[in-house]
């Protein structure tokens, strides 16, 4: 996972598109059509592509700076301008409670494990709350991550009320003076209103412990879905007040560019991307 204060441009180098070989080898300041084609093939979308190229051209201003570098700067601005520094959030909130949401199969639990490693490596005390009490094996999977990373873990029995687990996790995080509490949630389709209502209930319950919690709600999106993710992102954002995005599986897709129009349309920053299976990815 990228560092807290260093967005993920370097990680994006490992995707199959966007800043990939075609752009690296073919694009020159005089060949913007190649740049446009590369971005469109990466699922950046026509409108966002047009804006990125226009800004890159403007910033070039006769310099010899590589196209890839110019575009990279504009891409980072696009997804990073609304990002709140997590270090600032942790200074203000003790603990910082982050609810991690998304549809089935997006990679929430694995992402939480990686986030736990990331925060612990930054010297933070971390607690994981196993709020996905319905998916078979979800609790065991998160427990494995907690043990692997070496962080605290709170759970309930399989099938338990996820709101109760979230309440216990935030209570424990507060009592144990944790820096960060990461709440796992059951995957759900954005089109199922009853499941979305359950997430709202979970958020309401944790406010009984810390009125401002969850301080952050991060939506995990499957990068292989490309712009098909935009509707689910809208639904989650409208229902829960999503504050940031995490995009997974970018190492295996040519559609990673969709993070840019999604971030732009919803005015949401992208905090992290997943580009592999290891804990550092």
Instruction: Express each pLDDT in 63-114 by its tens digit.
Output: 667 777 778 788 888 887 667 788 888 889 999 999 999 988 888 999 999 9
Lowest mean pLDDT among 6-15, 148-157, 202-211: 6-15
* More confident: 224 or 27: 224
* More confident: 136 or 128: 128
Beta bridge partners of 273: 247
* More confident: 250 or 180: 180
Average pLDDT, the chain: 83
User: Measured at the alpha carbon of residue 171, what is the angle toward residues 167 and 176, in degrees to the nearest 5?
Assistant: 150
- Helix and strand numbers, DSSP H then E, in the chain: 12, 7
Instruction: Express each pLDDT in 219-248 by its tens digit.
Output: 999 888 877 788 888 989 998 999 999 988
pTM: 0.85
Lowest mean pLDDT among 38-47, 103-112, 210-219: 38-47
CA distances for 140 relative to 46, 47, 147, 154, 255, angstroms: 43, 43, 10, 12, 31
Q: Are 101 and 218 in contact (CB under 8 A)?
A: yes
Beta bridge partners of 126: 180
pLDDT at 189: 66
Give the residue from 219, 217, 213, 179 showing the smallest Cα distance to 87: 179
């Amino acid at each position: 996972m990228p560092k807290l204060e260093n967005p993920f441009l370097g990680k994006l180098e490992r995707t199959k598109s966007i800043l990939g070989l075609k752009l690296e080898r073919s694009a020159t300041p005089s060949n913007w059509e190649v740049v446009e084609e590369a971005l469109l093939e990466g699922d950046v979308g026509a409108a966002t592509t047009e804006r990125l190229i226009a800004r890159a051209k403007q910033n070039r201003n006769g310099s010899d700076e590589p196209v890839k570098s110019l575009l990279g700067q504009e891409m980072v601005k696009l997804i990073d301008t609304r990002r709140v520094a997590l270090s600032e959030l942790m200074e203000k909130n003790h603990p910082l409670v982050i609810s991690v949401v998304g549809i089935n199969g997006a990679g929430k639990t694995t992402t939480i494990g990686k986030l736990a490693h990331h925060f612990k490596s930054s010297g933070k005390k971390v607690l994981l709350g196993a709020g996905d009490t319905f998916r078979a094996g979800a609790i065991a999977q998160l427990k494995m991550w907690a043990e692997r990373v070496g962080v605290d873990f709170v759970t309930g029995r399989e099938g338990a009320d996820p709101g109760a687990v979230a309440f216990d996790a935030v209570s424990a995080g507060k009592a144990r003076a944790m820096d960060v509490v990461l709440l796992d949630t059951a995957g759900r389709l954005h089109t199922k209103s009853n499941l979305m209502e359950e997430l709202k209930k979970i958020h309401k319950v944790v406010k009984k412990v810390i009125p401002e919690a969850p301080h952050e709600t991060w939506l995990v999106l499957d990068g292989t879905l490309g712009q098909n993710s935009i509707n689910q992102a809208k639904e989650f954002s409208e229902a829960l007040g999503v504050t940031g995005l995490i995009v997974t599986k970018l190492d295996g897709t040519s559609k990673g560019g969709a993070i840019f129009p999604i971030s732009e349309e919803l005015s949401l920053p992208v905090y992290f991307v997943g580009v592999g299976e290891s804990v550092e990815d």
